[in-house]
């Protein structure tokens, strides 16, 4: 936690530096960061739903579940587990 103020200061300094050549380049970078954050949030929600379904079915995660979670992290379309799958 003690590194947070230092990190914040570095981010502030970087954001006021001469990183971007124009406003459009800066806006594109911000838009890319927002899009990446939304994708990450979606993937985390899907993983949370996957784990919730495992718990609801009272199943222990196995190698296939971890493979599905990795698939979700990589942007794949893994399906939620079902009792029938076991």
Run means of pLDDT, 10 residues per run, the chain, 86 residues = 60 58 76 84 86 85 84 82 66
pLDDT for the residue 15 = 55
Collapsing DSSP to helix, strand or coil, 64 comes out as helix
What was the pLDDT predicted at 17?
54
Domain spans of the chain, in order of start = 20-85
Q: 4 vs 9, 56, 58, 59, CA distance in Å?
A: 9, 38, 39, 39
Three-state secondary structure call for residue 59: coil
Give me the pLDDT at residue 80, please.
74
Query: What is the pLDDT at residue 83?
Result: 67
């Amino acid at each position: 936690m003690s590194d947070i103020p230092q990190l914040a200061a570095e981010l502030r300094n970087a954001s006021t530096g001469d990183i971007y050549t124009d406003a459009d380049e800066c806006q594109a970078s911000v838009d890319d960061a927002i899009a990446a954050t939304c994708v990450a949030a979606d993937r985390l929600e899907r993983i949370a739903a996957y784990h919730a379904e495992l718990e609801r079915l009272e199943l222990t995660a196995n190698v296939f579940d971890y493979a599905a979670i990795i698939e979700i992290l990589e942007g794949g379309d893994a399906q939620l587990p079902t009792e029938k799958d076991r």
